[in-house]
Amino acid sequence: MYFDFHTHKSSSNPSVFNIRLGHEQNASPANPFYSVGIHPWDVDNIDVEAQLILLRQELEKKKIIALGEIGLDKVFGTNLVLQQHVFDKQIEIANEYHRKVLIIHCVKSYEEILKARQKAGKNQIWVLHGFNGGEALIKQLVKANFYFSIGATLFNPKSRLVKNLQFIPPERLFLETDDSNLSIKQVFDQFALLRKMDSASIQQQIRSNLTDVFGDIAEVT
Ligand SMILES: [Zn+2]
């Protein structure tokens, strides 16, 4: 099974479709699972308090298995104070609604993300999506209990991620297509090629990671 941990595309394949609140209205995509959250890119252009209410309503739905993508981005240009406020609120809401998996968008904000992670407590599971980073950062994040979801960066041989891929523990790994035009099978094949592993064992590893993170939903997939 090629499980796509984070995608913006409608597909009936085993995948988590990301709903970006206040940004896009997708007419019921076919994906078996969803994540929902307020993206840091959108905070300046939406009514934040209204979207936080909407988030609570969305979390009543069964197919919503994670909060995301949420986080901090110091490059995009939206108000950083507001980003932090919206991020903190969503961490609280995740606890309130017993959604323990958070899909994190982080650009040049690791210090703040690590601080927030520590504050959030051990009950939550944080998955850094679109991850790209070197050995020291990976080790620091592993120690802080992060998971990693990776995708298109695997196709850039000059990236820090590709050069340091061996430091990502297999039991903390997910693969994703995000907003790329890649198929999830291509991402699995590329990971297998780089790590000199066979695709079947990666699929098995990710299935086991899904069970660790989501418990019984893995049975559905
Ligand atoms: Zn995304």
Catalogue all structural domains in the chain, each as residue range(s) with its CATH number. Answer: 4-213 (3.20.20.140)
- Of 28, 85, 86, 78, the C-alpha closest to 58 is 28
Q: Is 44 helix (H, G, I), strand (E, B) or coil?
A: coil
Distance CA 145, CA 132 (A): 17
H-type alpha helices, 121-183: 135-143, 160-163
pLDDT tens for the chain, 221 residues long, are 999 999 999 999 999 999 999 887 666 788 999 999 999 999 999 999 999 999 999 998 888 999 999 999 999 999 999 999 999 999 999 999 888 899 999 999 999 999 999 999 888 999 999 999 999 999 999 999 999 999 999 999 999 999 999 999 999 999 999 999 999 999 999 999 999 999 999 999 999 999 999 987 655 55
pLDDT at 218: 53
CA of 88 to the centre of ligand 1 (A): 19
Distance CA 197, CA 188 (A): 10
Q: How far is CA 23 from the centre of its chain?
A: 18
CA of 16 to the centre of ligand 1 (A): 11
177: tokens are 């297509």
CA of 53 to the centre of ligand 1 (A): 22
pTM of the full predicted structure? 0.95
pLDDT at 23: 85
Q: Which helix (H) or strand (E) is 102 found in, with range?
A: strand 101-107
Q: What is the CA radius of gyration of the chain?
A: 16
CA of 157 to the centre of ligand 1 (A): 21
Distance CA 118, CA 15 (A): 28
CA of 167 to the centre of ligand 1 (A): 23
H-type alpha helices, 24-134: 48-58, 80-96, 110-120
Q: What angle do CA 159, 106, 188 make, to 5 degrees?
A: 50
pLDDT at 121: 84
Q: Is 184 helix (H, G, I), strand (E, B) or coil?
A: helix
CA of 12 to the centre of ligand 1 (A): 18
Q: How far is CA 174 from the centre of its chain?
A: 9
CA of 37 to the centre of ligand 1 (A): 11
End-to-end CA distance of the chain: 8
Neighbouring-strand partners of residue 128: 104, 148
CA of 143 to the centre of ligand 1 (A): 24
Tell me, what amino acid is at 19? I
Q: Spell out the residues 6+ positions from residue 79 whose beta carbon is closer than 8 angstroms to its own.
A: 43, 44
